């Protein structure tokens, strides 16, 4: 099977990412057969560590495809790394700004042009204490319903053991097995052609993340919780008036 061409920056990133992934963990990639060899595909994944994109990218790349991530626009301002993001045609997400809809349009265009687009519907690292997917944003559902492409659930497990952002803990040794598993495309046929409103977007989002949760339960060999964790914002301290 011919590898999808990614260009200089993708090749450079691959040259750095593959050895890096082995230095900090033992990657185990499964379910790559569900990613189509050609044509657009939307990858929806759980998010438990800032290391996840490294392993998601290699899961896609080792299937001979090139990943295009929807990622925080602030990353484009990081020296050198920003150039890699531009050169490899990643997609900046401008939240709460006039450019927010442009991210969605760019994602849809990428899928229409036969690209593999990767998104983490939770929008940030899960705050669930046990590492299960939490209540997610609906942007992934908008992408899925705006593009008639396979929607592939992918889950990670093991990355939080290496780098736990919320506990400020980095532990590369002893090396942990990092599981990245893809599942069968999610059936969205019941929603195709329906008017896209808030109810439909929520149902599709929950359906996608339920499939991710089920897939993660298989990897962990555990029973998944029935509900998605909701992170309550920290209330501002009361002050005397």
Domains of the chain: 8-220 (3.40.1130.10)
In terms of phi and psi (left: phi > 0; alpha: psi -120 to 50; beta: otherwise), the region of 179 is beta
pLDDT of residue 240: 41
8: Cβ–Cβ under 8 A, 6 or more apart, which residues? 87
**Sole residue written with tokens 């040259």:** 15
What's the rounded Cα separation, in Å, for the pair 83 and 87? 6
Q: What is the pLDDT of residues 37-85, one digit of tens each?
A: 999 999 999 999 999 999 999 999 999 999 999 887 777 788 777 888 8
Q: What is the pLDDT of residues 206-231, one digit of tens each?
A: 999 999 999 999 999 999 999 999 97
| Residue 88: band (very low, low, confident or very high) from pLDDT cuts 50, 70, 90 | confident
Q: Is the dihedral of CA 118, 124, 129, 133 positive or negative?
A: negative
| Residue 36: band (very low, low, confident or very high) from pLDDT cuts 50, 70, 90 | very high
Q: Up-side HSE of residue 207: CA atoms within 13 Å toward CB?
A: 19
Share of the chain above pLDDT 70, in %: 93
| Residue 99: band (very low, low, confident or very high) from pLDDT cuts 50, 70, 90 | low
| Residue 238: band (very low, low, confident or very high) from pLDDT cuts 50, 70, 90 | very low
**Tokens representing 197?**
């409103």
| Residue 6: band (very low, low, confident or very high) from pLDDT cuts 50, 70, 90 | confident
Closest CA to 229 of 91, 127, 125, 83: 127
User: Which pTM value belongs to this model?
Assistant: 0.91
Who wins on pLDDT, 145 or 81?
A: 145
pLDDT of residue 38: 96
What's the rounded Cα separation, in Å, for the pair 2 and 122? 33
């Amino acid at each position: 099977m011919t590898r999808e061409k990614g260009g200089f920056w993708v090749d450079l990133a691959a040259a750095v990412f593959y050895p890096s992934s082995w230095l900090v963990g033992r990657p185990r990639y499964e379910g790559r057969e569900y990613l189509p060899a050609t044509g657009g595909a939307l990858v929806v994944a759980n998010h438990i560590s800032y290391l996840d994109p490294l392993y998601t990218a290699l899961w896609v790349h080792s299937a001979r495809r090139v990943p295009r991530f929807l990622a925080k626009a602030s990353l484009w301002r990081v020296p050198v790394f920003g150039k890699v993001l531009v050169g490899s045609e990643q997609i900046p997400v401008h939240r709460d700004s006039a450019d927010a809809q442009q991210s969605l349009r760019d994602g849809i265009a990428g899928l229409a042009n036969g690209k593999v687009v990767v998104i983490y519907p939770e929008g940030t690292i899960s705050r669930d204490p046990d590492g299960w997917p939490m209540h997610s944003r609906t942007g992934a559902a908008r992408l899925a319903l705006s593009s008639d492409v396979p929607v592939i659930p992918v889950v990670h497990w093991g990355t939080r053991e290496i780098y736990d952002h919320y506990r400020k803990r980095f532990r590369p040794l002893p090396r942990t097995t990092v599981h990245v598993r893809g599942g069968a495309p999610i059936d969205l046929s019941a929603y195709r052609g329906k008017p896209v409103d808030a109810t439909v977007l929520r149902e599709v989002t929950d359906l996608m993340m339920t499939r991710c949760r089920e897939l993660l339960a298989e990897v962990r060999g555990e029973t998944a919780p029935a509900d998605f964790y909701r992170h309550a914002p920290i209330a501002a301290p009361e002050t005397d008036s």
